[in-house]
Structure 1
Amino acid sequence: MEEVFFAIAVFLFLAFYLGVGTWIFIAILMVGLTSLLVVLDFPLVRVGSIMKGTMWRTASTWELAAIPMFVFMGEIMFRTDVSNRLFRGLSPWTNLIPGKLLHCNVVGCTLFAAVSGSSTATTATVGKITMTELDRRGYDSNLVTGSLAGAGSLGLMIPPSISMIIYGVLAEQSITGLFAAGILPGLLISALYSAYIVYRALTGDVTGHLDDTRYSVMDYLRSLLDLAPILVLMFVVLGGIYTGIVTPSEAAALGFAASILMVTVLGQFSWKVFLDALTGATRITCMVVTILVAASFMSSTMAYMHVPQEVAKLIAAMHLGPVGIIVLIGVFYVILGMFLDGLSIMVMTLPITLPIVVAAGWDPIWFGIFLVIMIELGLITPPIGFNLFVLQGITAKPIGQIAYSAFPFFLLMLLAAVIIAIFPQIALWLPSVIL
């Protein structure tokens, strides 16, 4: 019973610190400090030693070096005309499919996610051009907004993914394996989105009465040139990782260098673009790493309190079986996603949920993909859905209307989670081939 009290104490401490408006990383640190000093009555010297050791060990992890480089690369792309080129390059090809340019949201986000690693950057970059163009051509407004909200979240799934790097560090799993595991589930979600758009197009007038554009052979050839920047960066980053030439961290540096070269060749480079991208990348990286090192300290605290083991025992006593456990954890994450950002959810819950999932027989690489999908669901779930806020900034629509537009894509992503739970090899096949 003592450990159950500890678990309740941790939850109450966290609720208190977040409730009074404390910054997330400080709230996490304070939970660890309060738990060790007050609940376990550890001496201050010992608490300081635990804190120093765990935080330094996490902060000095080599794999984290990939985060600033991938973020920097995405920031460079965000501040140039890559999104315009992406839309022009995709338009002739998507025009051949029922739903026409609506597929630019899905395919554009899928491709941009492969050079971004961030869902908000993917949503904002693709949305800043497609929203205006699709509205101007008379496409169904709800479908435009909803497809962008759903597809923008693929920035977390399609490698390189910052969330997968963090999961790999926390769960001590191969980041290359996680990147490989995310490809087919990411493509599955994209396919479900496009299939829904095709269905809506075949059953109703959603493709825009003003869009009667015809494309020539030269338009198709020119479109390949417009797509070249994204495709080259994908080849440099992912090709380098999966051929074994470079590690994910080295691929991040290589991709950043390639992005600088790319925008220079395109005549888009300027010191303002570089400094703005550097500022944005620094801000995001500091936010991510401070939360991560704080979470490592809280994880050590919970280990001293035996919280993960006791929670695991309680769940095991329910005799749910592997499927029941993953359903329970999935519901838990969907509820958390309504109130917390994905990074905070991952770093605060993984020390508890991962041992339970592994003990139930699920592969930790597979669980990383499942967890990313759960976090993606939170991105389009009110009241705290970051993609919804990004789209509100672009469209000036009420959050409620944007959430309503995104709801079908929420259900499709939930369907994808069910599919990979029934067929886990969708996520595990590529890692088994590559590793």
Structure 2
Amino acid sequence: MSDMAITGLLVLTLFLLLGSGVWIGLTLAGVAWIGMELFSSRPAGDAMAVTIWGSASSWTLTALPLFVWMGEILFRTKLSESMFRGLAPWVNVLPGRLLHTNILGSTIFAAVSGSSAATCATIGKMTIPELSQRGYPPEKIVGSLGGASTLGLLIPPSIIMIVYGVAAEVSIAKLFVAGVLPGLLLAALFSGHLMVWALLNPDKVPKADAGLSFAQKLAESRHLIPVVLLIGGVIGTIYTGIATATEAAAVGVVGALILSASQGSLNAATFKASLLGATRLYCMIALILAGAAFLTLAMGYIGLPRHLAEFVGSLGLSPGALLLALALFYMLLGCFLDGISMIVLTMGVILPTVSAAGIDLIWFGIFVVIVVEMAQITPPVGFNLFVLQGMTKREITWIARVCAPYFLLMVLALLLLWWFPGLVNWLPSRM
């Protein structure tokens, strides 16, 4: 059977299983088992056992459940309320006024969460009622929240960066640091969009709240101190080389527990809820990772990555054309799969091609994360769309439409990173 026929059969099997509702991790493992059993001489059962054990016992992946737990702890604190009180006095003077709390709040919470959905839910439960009550347009409230909350994937610590770092065998600490400037760039683009809209539609922006003196603004900013200290503890230990990503994750969990206790949010019930929530989420991710590791191994034995790399190489695509093709591929894949599944399912095949094209894997990691961010607000499987639908009870199509400008701004960010790669590489090069 030809390579194209084998590939077509496995892809068809994959989508049939996914479409029938089988869990993603089990689907990946099942397709891998079929591939190895039919098209290779290696015993599938033995390979599956060894590969799944190896993927589950990775020390690097220890950071993943810790960052997930940190986000779950903070989700149950008064952090979002404190951030709103600290940010509101400063953004009142900007065109668009309090709409910027969605952007800045998401940017700050992304630095202690690592999850796009958690950022969306946490900031949304604070800003949607407040901004709606003050008369801001619903499409701008929901659109800015949907777009900005995707920063949870890009601004470190990021769960998906850990997954990519393990798959690509690159430094997770450098990936984290590489995401800082692109994350701030996206936040600036989002805020700039709101400013332009507000200047063109001044009648749709409610009047500013009563002005505060500079001293009063500083007094309100004290509510930002806990989250700034936590961000400094996590990111600072990585950037200075004091701790690895895994050790920094442990620092983050301890800091989140201290913050939760200081706010009076830590009790037996919230501790248990955060631990169980983190366990459920990580078990789902771990199953996907294990299935994807086995699928990657199976593809290697069958020879599909090598043949695909040879095929792409024979096309003579320039690095820019290759990245454009990959961006379109991931956008299409994002209509059906979540971000982590996209990463672990494709990296075994894509990375050899990217490396052969001379593209830096740290830069490519940030590129992939931004494309996955775009998939978070792309129907029908955009996770942020589901979170926003649950909070607003609006139609998915309406939510996707109001988030569309932020999708286009992410496209612009990708172009800027291509033209100015130093935005990604400058900070990691100084570590």
**TM-score under structure 2 normalisation?**
0.97
- SS of the residue 1:36 aligns to: helix
Q: 2:136 aligns with which of 135, 139, 163?
A: 139
In the TM superposition, what are the counterparts of 1:234-249 in structure 2 within 5 Å?
Answer: 234-249=231-246
**Residue of structure 1 equivalent to 2:388:** 391
Matched, 1:367 2:364: yes
**Residue of structure 2 equivalent to 1:2:** 2
CA separation in 2, counterparts of 1:407 and 1:378?
A: 11
CA separation in 1, counterparts of 2:338 and 2:352?
A: 22
**Residue of structure 2 equivalent to 1:30:** 30
**Residue of structure 2 equivalent to 1:92:** 89
Report the residue type matching 2:239 in the other structure.
Y
**Residue of structure 2 equivalent to 1:269:** 266
CA separation in 1, counterparts of 2:45 and 2:3?
A: 23
CA contact 2:74–2:256 (8 Å) conserved in 1: yes
In the TM superposition, what are the counterparts of 1:214-253 in structure 2 within 5 Å?
Answer: 214-253=211-250
Return 197-206 or 297-306, whichever deviates more: 197-206
Identity of aligned residues (%): 45
CA separation in 2, counterparts of 1:5 and 1:262?
A: 56
User: Where in structure 2 are there 5+ consecutive unaligned residues?
Assistant: none
**Residue of structure 1 equivalent to 2:314:** 317
CA contact 2:78–2:263 (8 Å) conserved in 1: no
CA contact 1:116–1:155 (8 Å) conserved in 2: yes
In the TM superposition, what are the counterparts of 1:264-303 in structure 2 within 5 Å?
Answer: 264-303=261-300
CA contact 1:25–1:291 (8 Å) conserved in 2: yes
CA separation in 2, counterparts of 1:223 and 1:355?
A: 51
User: Where in structure 1 are there 5+ consecutive unaligned residues?
Assistant: none
**Residue of structure 2 equivalent to 1:157:** 154
- SS of the residue 2:313 aligns to: helix
What is the CA distance between 1:370 and its match in structure 2?
A: 0.5
Q: 1:190 aligns with which of 176, 183, 187?
A: 187
CA separation in 1, counterparts of 2:420 and 2:304?
A: 31
What is the CA distance between 1:95 and its match in structure 2?
A: 1.1
Q: 1:57 aligns with which of 46, 50, 54?
A: 54
Return 69-78 or 205-214, whichever deviates more: 205-214
What is the CA distance between 1:326 and its match in structure 2?
A: 0.6
CA contact 2:92–2:208 (8 Å) conserved in 1: no
Report the residue type matching 1:20 in the other structure.
S
CA contact 1:140–1:206 (8 Å) conserved in 2: no
- SS of the residue 1:163 aligns to: helix
CA separation in 2, counterparts of 1:19 and 1:126?
A: 32
**Residue of structure 2 equivalent to 1:74:** 71
Report the residue type matching 1:14 in the other structure.
L
CA separation in 1, counterparts of 2:203 and 2:79?
A: 27
**Residue of structure 1 equivalent to 2:14:** 14
C-alpha change, 1:287 and 1:6, in structure 2 (3 Å) is: same
What is the CA distance between 1:223 and its match in structure 2?
A: 2.2
Report the residue type matching 2:34 in the other structure.
T
CA separation in 2, counterparts of 1:367 and 1:72?
A: 27
- Give structure 1 regions of 4+ aligned residues with deviation exceeding 4 angstroms: none
Aligned residues: 431
CA separation in 2, counterparts of 1:207 and 1:233?
A: 37
CA separation in 1, counterparts of 2:324 and 2:198?
A: 33
**Residue of structure 2 equivalent to 1:257:** 254
**Residue of structure 1 equivalent to 2:398:** 401
CA separation in 1, counterparts of 2:264 and 2:227?
A: 16
Report the residue type matching 2:370 in the other structure.
I
1:336-390 superposed Cα distances (whole Å, 9 cap, x missing partner): 1111111111111111111111111110111100000111000000111110110
Matched, 1:118 2:130: no
CA contact 1:139–1:207 (8 Å) conserved in 2: yes
What is the CA distance between 1:205 and its match in structure 2?
A: 2.6
In the TM superposition, what are the counterparts of 1:102-113 in structure 2 within 5 Å?
Answer: 102-113=99-110
What is the CA distance between 1:222 and its match in structure 2?
A: 2.6
- SS of the residue 2:63 aligns to: helix
What is the CA distance between 1:210 and its match in structure 2?
A: 5.0
- SS of the residue 1:338 aligns to: coil
What is the CA distance between 1:206 and its match in structure 2?
A: 6.4
Report the residue type matching 1:12 in the other structure.
L
1:172-197 superposed Cα distances (whole Å, 9 cap, x missing partner): 00000100111111111101001101
- SS of the residue 2:113 aligns to: coil
C-alpha change, 1:234 and 1:206, in structure 2 (3 Å) is: farther
Report the residue type matching 1:245 in the other structure.
I
CA contact 1:89–1:225 (8 Å) conserved in 2: yes
CA contact 2:117–2:387 (8 Å) conserved in 1: yes
CA separation in 1, counterparts of 2:202 and 2:76?
A: 34
- SS of the residue 1:383 aligns to: coil
- SS of the residue 1:160 aligns to: coil
Q: 1:305 aligns with which of 288, 299, 302?
A: 302
What is the CA distance between 1:218 and its match in structure 2?
A: 4.5
**Residue of structure 2 equivalent to 1:340:** 337
CA contact 1:200–1:206 (8 Å) conserved in 2: no
**Residue of structure 2 equivalent to 1:350:** 347
